[in-house]
Amino acid sequence: MPEELLKGFWRENPVFVQALGMCPTLAVTNSAINALVMGLATTVVLIASGAVISTIRQRIPKQARIATFILIIATFVTCVDYGIQALDISLHAALGAFISLIVVNCLILGRMETFASKQPFLPTLFDGLGMGGGFTLALLCLGSVREILGAGSLFGIQLLPAGFEPWVVMLLPSGGFFVLALWVLVFNRLRQPNPTGAAETRGAI
């Protein structure tokens, strides 16, 4: 069971290893709070729809399974959307259309198809929690670096001195690609401390 939980954070991290859900990863990570809320919203949808689909998995007809998954995912996304509006409406405005777009996040549909529809309830719950947690972690990694460099603050709290000239490029889409590339580099370097692959490449040259 801990394996189901932990794989999402490290060995099969949805963003840095599987490269899933890139659209919200790049689009809403211009501040740490946006990244956190997006990550948590996705986690809630992952866990809730995983729980439902795993419970009724024997009753879902094979031909119509994708349509059923989307229906269930869309329901939870709509509920989360209303929930965020009720909690903090300015946050909802900052995330714009991206909350509704969780429906088409391939990470969620992917987990439903490869895991929830084949596994019992409890492992699915842990899988959803792990994958959602890994996704949130990855978004936070991007969001905090982009906010610190692009606005000099973190979670809206000014960190760098007033004399610091913000790197506006970090808040723009191109900054998202730069930071993502760096994190993927760091993450995979740490994941393979003994890169035999690199040695082989050297040998080939």
Q: Which of 9, 36, 153, 166 binds another protein (CB under 8 A)?
A: 166
**Shortest CB 119 distance to another protein, Å:** 19
In the DSSP assignment, the letter for residue 164 is: -
Kindly indicate which of the ranges 12-20, 59-67, 133-141, 180-188 contains the residues binding another protein, using the contact rule CB under 8 A: 59-67
- For residue 121 the two structure tokens come to 């309830």
Phi-psi region of 128 (alpha: psi -120 to 50; beta: other; left: phi over 0): alpha
Helices (H), 88-172: 89-95, 106-111, 121-151
Task: Tell me: does residue 62 bind another protein (CB under 8 A).
Answer: yes
Q: Which of 17, 72, 107, 138 binds another protein (CB under 8 A)?
A: 72
Query: In whole angstroms, what is the distance from residue 41 CA to residue 135 CA?
Result: 11
Toward another protein, which CB reaches closer, 18 or 153? 153
- What number of chain residues touch another protein (CB under 8 A)? 33
Asked if 80 and 45 count as a contact pair (C-beta separation under 8 A), the reply is yes
Toward another protein, which CB reaches closer, 5 or 73? 73
Residue with tokens 């760091």: 186
CA end-to-end span of the chain, whole Å?
43
Task: Tell me: does residue 64 bind another protein (CB under 8 A).
Answer: yes
Asked if 139 and 131 count as a contact pair (C-beta separation under 8 A), the reply is no
**Shortest CB 193 distance to another protein, Å:** 36
Query: In whole angstroms, what is the distance from residue 143 CA to residue 33 CA?
Result: 8
**Shortest CB 82 distance to another protein, Å:** 4
**Shortest CB 44 distance to another protein, Å:** 12
Residue ranges binding another protein (CB under 8 A): 30-31, 56, 58-64, 67-68, 71-72, 74-75, 78-79, 82-83, 85-86, 88-90, 93, 96, 150-151, 166, 168, 171-172
